[in-house]
Every structure is written in C-alpha cells, then in structure tokens.
Amino acid sequence: MKTTTKSVEDPCCVDERTGIGGLVPVNDAISRGLSLARKVDGIEVVELDEAIGRVLAEDLLAPFPLPPFDNSAMDGYVFRSEDLSGVGPWRLRVAGRVAAGDNANKAGAVGEGEAFRIFTGAGIPKGGDTVVMQERVRRLGDFIELENPVTPGSCIRRQAEDAAKDSLLLPKGSLIGAREIGAIASVGLPRIRVRRKVRIALFCTGSELRQPGESLAPGQIYNSNRFILMAALRQPWIELSNMGAVVDDPDALRAALTHAAASVDMVVTTGGVSVGEEDHMVEQLRSAGGRIEVMKIAMKPGKPLSVGTLNGAVFVGLPGNPVAAFTTWKIIGSRIAEEMSGQGTNEVSVSQVEASESFTRRPGRQEFRPAKIVGFSPDGRPKVQLLDQSFSAKISLICKSDGFAVIPAHSDRIASGDRLDFVQL
C-alpha cells in the first residue's frame, strides 16, 4: 500500500443541516493542544542499549567519516585498473590477501600485474584501485584470469561516502529506533544524551468500573480504558504513573487531578467529560485551578475530548467510551505528548483507500470510522468496508478493523469508489 504522511485535515466544523455549530475542527484542536506543549527540558546520559525509543537531546555529528576507510564491497580481488589495458583476457598474479579486520597498510602494495585476494569490508591496500567480484574471474593456481573489462574504481566503498566527518548524522529530536541506534553505534559512542522521559499520570473515572479479575455487580463494567491507554502509553520516552480508577465524585476527582498534576508533565484521564450530571471532570479541573483550552471537537468519536492545563501540567481529558478514548489519544493526545518529548510533531501516517460501498451519514464531525480492507482496486488501492455507524463503545469492532477511514466533516454521502484517507491500526 502506498503510504504518505500528512495531517488529517478538514476545515469544516459546522453542520448547517443539524445546527451543530461551534465545534473545534480536529486540526485546530491539534494545533491548540500543541501550543500548550512545552518540551521537557531535562537531559539524561544513557547507555546505548537503554537508548532505544528515547529522544536525542542534541544534534549528533559524525566524529569521523563513515565508512572510515576505503574498503571492498565484494569478496573478490583488488588490482590496479591500468593493468587491464588493451584487449582481454588478462592474467594477474595473486600476490597478497586482505580480510576484514586486517590492517590494509600492512598488507603491502599491489604491484604491476598483481591482484590481492580481498573480502567484503577489508581495507583497500596501497596500489589497488579496483575490485572485481570473485564470480567474474577464473582462478588458475596462483593467477586469476579476467575475460571482461572491469570499470576502474568499481566495488569500492569510499571513505565518507555515507557521512563526512562533522556532518549531521542525526538531528536533535530524533526518536531512536533501530536505524538511529545503528548510526550511533557506527560511530562508536557507548552512551548518548537524551531528553528525560515525559512524565504522564493516567487515571480513569467512573463509579461503574471494576478491575479485570474482580466480580461484577449489576450495572458495573470492567475498566478497559486503563489497559487500552497503558498499552498506548507504554513508550520508552514516557514514564507512566498509573493511578487506577476514581469514582464519579467531585471531591475525589479534584483531589486526584491535583495530586496527579503536582508531579507530572501531563495528566491523562478518561470519562466524565460529557454533559451529564455525573460528568465532573471539566468543572473539577477548573475548581482545582486549571484551564480548559479545547473542548467540543468536530470529531467522531471524541466530541467531548477536553484539553487544557493544570498547575503547569497539560491536561488531556479523553472521553469514557473506549473506542473514543483510543481514537482521541491516537489522533490528538499522543501528538501533544510527542511534542513534549522533544520529537516534534509526528504527523499521523495516512494512506489512501477506496470505499467499497456507498453510504450516507450525518455531516458535521470529521469521522474516524473503523474500516476493514475487503479487496483492491485495479490500480492496487485497498478497498475498505466501513463498519457500524455507531461504534464509540464497541471495542470488539475495532479489533476487527484494519484502520480508520477518515470521513471529512462536511460529507453526508460517500459513493462506492470514493477515495478516503485511512489511518492504519
């Protein structure tokens, strides 16, 4: 599947037909959330094997060139290109040998009419300027015979062709994955400077919540959000303090918010952000001294997502419905956390799909609809079937979907074959 990276974008936030207005478009919610995010400022020195998944705190310049010396790209023979003048076949005497790890300077010089046996990664000995792979020569005792000409300079990896000394190997803010750690190890650094982890406190609200393993009384459900978010927040650049569940009680909520915000960079909660009498989150955040900067988002699921600040911490109040909590974290919350980690904004990776069937819907909110890949168009684009319209509490449904089809806020009808953005899960 062709994958492009771009932000999920739609300017429309108002449903003229239903009269839903004043909703904040998803992209505005993201930028307003990002404007609250300050990069964490502490720096830690970590051993290389502890650096995976951390964020590089400063630009990393190559302390020496990569590769550090000219070396052979093939197992074969190294010789002087001028020895293949005129018409072939040519015969060269095998007069030396250099393997990876040998000091090529001590191997002697390749003389006229000579070749040295050489192996991939071995330094090019003096005099030699061309390597031929062994499959292209015939070995005859102490000689090799070449039937075809060889381009001068071929099969040699040149010093600095990957990175020159003092060139930028990795910019500050790089998330250290397999590629990045390979680059750091290649220049021999045993430890590096990374930003400290983003400290995040998580708690879920709801008097109905029980822990898996406990028994359920009538009206109770299991706290799945806690586990959904623990999974989403399990990142090497996050230090998570998991505060469990808090009942729908204003005092308990305010106390939990105040306690959480005192020691972290970000407080993430689920539930209690909607309009019911048991939804106290926004009111208690304010009463604890916090501010709400974004609420009522033109997003489905996730309209009640609330973003603000409390005592210097960023507050991300996710909706209680599990799919809404998962989606709003993925599309908005995680990007604020990434910004705070020093990575800069990682835009959501979006590809293009085609709707497999036509459908209508109520416009007004940009929708992230669980969708399943059911085939491919003649030009190779995935065709997706959009799953249930009403899905924000259906956790089993997103387990059956391959991703979210993104329906623009203003669309009231999608025809079969229409192209949609797709966020793969």
Ligand X SMILES: Nc1nc2c(c(=O)[nH]1)N[C@H]1C(S)=C(S)[C@@H](COP(=O)(O)OP(=O)(O)OC[C@H]3O[C@@H](n4cnc5c(N)ncnc54)[C@H](O)[C@@H]3O)O[C@H]1N2
Number of continuous H segments (helices) and E segments (strands) in the chain: 8, 29
- Using CB under 6 A as the binding criterion, the count of chain residues that bind ligand MOO stands at 8
Using CB under 6 A, which residues numbered 268 to 307 contact ligand MOO? 300-303
The entry of ligand X, ligand MOO, none near residue 114 (CB within 5 to 8 angstroms by kind) is none
Shortest approach of ligand MOO to residue 15 CB, angstroms? 14
Q: Which stretch binds ligand MOO (CB under 6 A): 3-11, 124-132, 134-142, 317-325?
A: 317-325
Q: Which is nearer to ligand X, 92 or 282 (CB)?
A: 282
Give me the least distance between CB of 298 and ligand X, in Å please.
Answer: 12
117 binds ligand MOO (CB under 6 A): no
> Residue 2 class from Cβ within 10 Å (0-12 exposed, 13-18 middle, 19+ buried)?
exposed
Residue 334 site contact among ligand MOO, ligand X, none (CB < 5 to 8 Å, cut-off depends on kind): none
For ligand X, the closer of residues 301 and 403 by Cβ is 301
Residue 366 contact, options ligand X, ligand MOO, none, Cβ 5-8 Å cut-off depending on partner type = none
Tell me, letter by letter, the H, E, C secondary structure of 290-305: CEEEECCECEECCCCC
Nearest to ligand MOO by Cβ — which residue?
392
For ligand MOO, the binding residue among 104, 110, 324, 340 (CB under 6 A) is: 324
Residue 364 Cβ, how far from ligand X at the closest point, in Å?
12
Residue whose entry in the numeric block shows the structure tokens 């959501």 = 348
Q: What is the CA radius of gyration of the chain?
A: 30
Pick between residue 159 and residue 327 the one whose CB is nearest to ligand X. 327
List contacts with ligand X (CB under 6 A). Answer: 204, 206, 208-209, 221, 223-226, 270-276, 279, 301, 303-304, 319-322, 324, 392-393
Q: Are 303 and 238 in contact (CB under 8 A)?
A: no
Residue pair 157/67 in contact (Cβ under 8 Å)? The answer is: yes
Question: Residue 354 binds what, of ligand X, ligand MOO, none (CB under 5 to 8 Å, by partner type)?
Answer: none
Q: Which is nearer to ligand MOO, 125 or 308 (CB)?
A: 308
205 versus 343: smaller Cβ distance to ligand X: 205
Task: Name the minimum Å distance from CB 220 to ligand X.
Answer: 9
Place of tokens 């400077």: 193
Residue 322 touching ligand MOO (CB under 6 A): no
Single out the residue of 319, 333, 370, 382 in contact with ligand MOO (rule: CB under 6 A). Answer: 319
Minimum CB separation of residue 320 from ligand MOO in Å reads: 8
Angle at 188 between CA 46 and CA 63, to 5 degrees: 105
Q: Which does 343 bind (CB under 5 to 8 A by kind): ligand X, ligand MOO, none?
A: none
We find the least distance from the C-beta atom of residue 384 to ligand X, in angstroms, to be: 23
Collapsed DSSP state (helix, strand, coil) of residue 155: coil
- Tokens in use for 83? 């020895």
* 197 binding partner (options ligand X, ligand MOO, none; Cβ < 5 to 8 Å by kind): none
Nearest to 18 by CA among 420, 410, 415, 301: 410
Report the interhelical angle of 334-341 vs 26-36 (nearest 10°).
Answer: 30
Residue 49: Cβ within 10 Å count: 10
DSSP for 363-416 reads: -SSEEEEEEEEEEE-TTSPEEEEE--S--TT-HHHHHH-SEEEEE-TT-SEE-T
Which residue is closest to ligand X by CB? 320
- Work out the burial of residue 155: count CB atoms within 10 Å of its CB; fewer than 13 is exposed, 13-18 middle, 19 or more buried: buried
Q: Which residues bind ligand MOO (CB under 6 A)?
A: 300-303, 319, 321, 324, 392
